[in-house]
Amino acid sequence: MSGNIKLLSDTLAAAKAEGRSALIAYLPAGFPTVDGGIEAAKAVFDGGADVVEVGLPHSDPVLDGPVIQTADDIALRGGVKIADVMRTVREAHTATGKPVLVMTYWNPIDRYGIERFTAELAEAGGAGCILPDLPVQESATWREHADKHGLATVFVVAPSSKDARLADITAAGSGFVYAASLMGVTGTRESVGEQAQDLVRRTKATTGLPVCVGLGVSNAEQAAEVARFADGVIVGSAFVKLLLAADGDLAAGLAGVRSLAGELAEGVRKRS
């Protein structure tokens, strides 16, 4: 079975055709429970997200700030497994028909087996993987299997990336490019800053792929700011915070993430 890279590309192209950025939401699998995480993914889609990234919880999440680390810890203590990640992808995609990716560090895939992982992700209806710590120069085997199964390989670029390095990364990637808006870890911030705009400009000079910005966006105003120069706006910690704040009240948490998705969906259409 082939994965849904085309659905991802078509979704991003449709947002561009509407004169807006796409809204991409991140949620960890298994948080607050496996079933709760599936419902949360559906809720952000209901609210207006175009794409969902399902995080594969990891014990050493180097890119993730304290909010997502807390959620990952809850998921891991709850016994989340890769099979649960695949189930989350399958059910979120089946319920909505929208593109769902997995964001994961490399070690779990390496241990699980590249062919097994890509085949199962494609079978689940996944659109691809975001791989923040896989060096491009070591990615050939992964990309071969991802291409075979119709999955996007999304690499992360950062403000520290030199232009030549950006060109190497974007040439190897597919689906879109994940532009980390600043140096550091994920989390909500007061301002996304000019670094993100400069990084998007430099990245776009190397590729025709959509460039989507994450790390720091948490409200409609910031989403509108980023939407002026990025093809997609990625929001994670703000959604996870709402689920954490609900403190076990899943209905309240789902209402919160659905509402925030709606506000952000309006924001990416304003391009203030």
Would you say 101 and 152 are in contact if contact means Cβ atoms under 8 Å apart?
Answer: yes
Burial of 205 (0-12, 13-18, 19+ CB in 10 A): exposed
The pLDDT tens digits for 6-49 are 999 999 999 999 999 999 999 999 999 999 999 999 999 999 99
Report, as an integer, the average pLDDT of 100-127: 97
The pLDDT tens digits for 235-263 are 999 999 999 999 889 999 999 999 999 99
- Mark 257-268 as b/e (b = at least 16 C-beta within 10 Å): bbebbbebbebb
Report, as an integer, the average pLDDT of 86-95: 98
What is the pLDDT, as a whole number, of residue 63? 67
Find where tokens 């175009």 sit. 50
- Of 63 and 55, the structure prediction assigns the larger pLDDT to 55
What is the pLDDT, as a whole number, of residue 216? 78
The pLDDT tens digits for 156-171 are 999 989 999 999 999 9
- Mark 164-194 as b/e (b = at least 16 C-beta within 10 Å): eebbebbebbbbbbbbbbbeebbbbbeebee
Would you say 73 and 79 are in contact if contact means Cβ atoms under 8 Å apart?
Answer: no
What is the pLDDT, as a whole number, of residue 183? 40
Separation of alpha carbons 168 and 7, rounded Å? 25
Is residue 53 part of the annotated active site? The answer reads yes
Quote the mean pLDDT of the chain.
92
Separation of alpha carbons 166 and 187, rounded Å? 24
The pLDDT tens digits for 184-226 are 434 444 455 678 899 999 999 999 999 999 877 889 998 999 9
Report, as an integer, the average pLDDT of 176-188: 66
What is the pLDDT, as a whole number, of residue 192? 56
258 DSSP assignment: H
Separation of alpha carbons 176 and 10, rounded Å? 11
What is the pLDDT, as a whole number, of residue 270? 83
Q: Which of 10, 35, 46, 53 is catalytic?
A: 53
* 106 to 37, 58, 157, 165, 173: CA distances (angstroms): 22, 10, 16, 20, 15
What is the pLDDT, as a whole number, of residue 195? 82
Q: Which of 50, 64, 120, 231 is catalytic?
A: 64
Is residue 123 part of the annotated active site? The answer reads no
What is the pLDDT, as a whole number, of residue 189? 44
